[in-house]
Chains A and B, each alone.
Chain A
Amino acid sequence: MLPSLTVLLLCQLAGEVLVRLLGLPLPGPVVGMVILFLGLLARGRVPQGLDQTVKAILGNFALLFIPASVGVMVHLGTIWTEALPIAAAVVGSTVLTIVVTGRLMQSLFKPKDKEQA
């Protein structure tokens, strides 16, 4: 658990450093994800301890979005005064994006029979 958590934090740290060094328009953790992915490619397999830690963390992924989401309360006034354009844009655009990208991916990519796509 602890060594795996350290690996995750080290990847994030390396990501943050790279973002600042190269002026990338990406958050550090996303670059950290790429770094860990490359590390796994180089190693050729996922160490068992890391696999278990990641399952535990992603099993409670929803929890991690709560603190930022509570921030909605700060802007309740603004949201209320422009409720119609906000609600229509958020719902309409999200539905449209899901339909367009889901259909497009399904038509562009045909998995082979044995692949569990």
Chain B
Amino acid sequence: MSTDLQSIWVYLATSPLLGLTSTLLAYQAAMWLFERCGRRQMLNPILVAVAMIVGFLMATGTEYRTYFDGAQFVHFLLGPATVALAVPLYHQLPLLRRAWPAVLAVVLTGAVVASVSAVAIAWSLGGSERIVLSLAPKSVTIPIAMGVAERIGGIPSLTAVMVMLTGMVGAIFGGWILDLARVKLPAARGLALGIASHGIGTVRALQMGETAGAFAGLAIGLTGLATAILVPLMISWVR
């Protein structure tokens, strides 16, 4: 690399511009690939974009913190986007009026199944205590999951990774699992994706339709609340 190019890179490597631009570029490239290949979930756009960015950061020796300085502008929009989920939910009002007792029962069951099964599987396969505890709140939205991990003695940043992996698994295999289990009702499909895989599951549910998307969005908040209350309680019983 010539010294000119090198000094340009030194400037770019520390500027927020690179993190932000690479995020938008990777997302659009991943979306293009996803559409081009017939919307195959194995080419989940989040997964593909993340793989491209991680590869780029590792190849250029850029730290995650430097990348996030730029990418935080996109990350910030998660807040207003979560608020926006109230709109598809409102469109489902007639359905919601009759469905809410079932929704509550399913969410409570789901919050327990998700955390207990994750802890049981990781523990029985010899996972260390910090891994097992970091896995307990993995099915809920990141801010709640990190708060719960902190309270029960897990590692919050590791929990954030588990939450992301859980989201990817739900988004990539969710539709197929629901087909195999013969779950056809859109409200049930969306609710299941939102309970098991929070916001990333909701992205997948929104692709299925507005009803599925609305019930998945509803599940994010309810499952988060149930988990925030139940998981610390269950851990204290075991101890």
Contact = CB atoms under 8 A, between A and B. Distances in A.
B12 to A, nearest CB: 18
B181 A103 contact: yes
A92 B114 contact: no
A109 B191 CA distance: 12
7 contacts: A57-B80, A61-B81, A68-B142, A72-B161, A74-B157, A85-B131, A105-B185
Contacts, number: 324
Given A72-B54, A73-B54, A105-B187, A97 B87 contact: no
B75 A67 contact: yes
Contacts of A104: 105-106, 109
B224 interface: yes
Nearest 10 interchain pairs by C-beta: A85-B127, A67-B71, A102-B183, A102-B192, A27-B143, A105-B188, A29-B82, A36-B86, A25-B228, A93-B118
A98 B178 contact: yes
B50 A70 contact: yes
Given A89-B118, A105-B192, A79 B83 contact: no
Interface in B121-180: 121-123, 125-128, 131-132, 135, 138-139, 141-144, 147, 157-158, 160-162, 164-170, 173-174, 177-178
B23 A67 contact: yes
Interface of B: 19, 23-24, 26-27, 31, 45-46, 49-50, 53-54, 57-58, 64, 67-68, 71-72, 74-75, 77-91, 93-95, 98-99, 102-103, 105-107, 109-110, 113-114, 117-119, 121-123, 125-128, 131-132, 135, 138-139, 141-144, 147, 157-158, 160-162, 164-170, 173-174, 177-178, 181, 183-189, 191-193, 195-197, 199-200, 202-203, 206, 211, 213, 217, 220-221, 224-225, 228-229
A97 B98 CA distance: 23
A22 interface: no
A102 B220 CA distance: 15
Given A98-B192, A102-B181, A30 B71 contact: no
B83 A36 contact: yes
Contacts of A106: 183-185, 188
Contact of B197 (A5, A63, A94, A96): A94
A74 to B, nearest CB: 5
A18 interface: no
A84 B110 CA distance: 24
Contacts of A29: 78-80, 82-83, 143
A90 B220 CA distance: 18
A41 to B, nearest CB: 7
A91 to B, nearest CB: 6
B46 A62 contact: yes
Contacts of A69: 46, 50, 164, 167-168
A108 interface: yes
Given A29-B83, A54-B84, A93 B121 contact: yes
A21 interface: no
Contacts of A113: none
B84 A30 contact: no
Nearest to A105: B188
Interface in A103-117: 103-106, 108-109, 111, 115-117
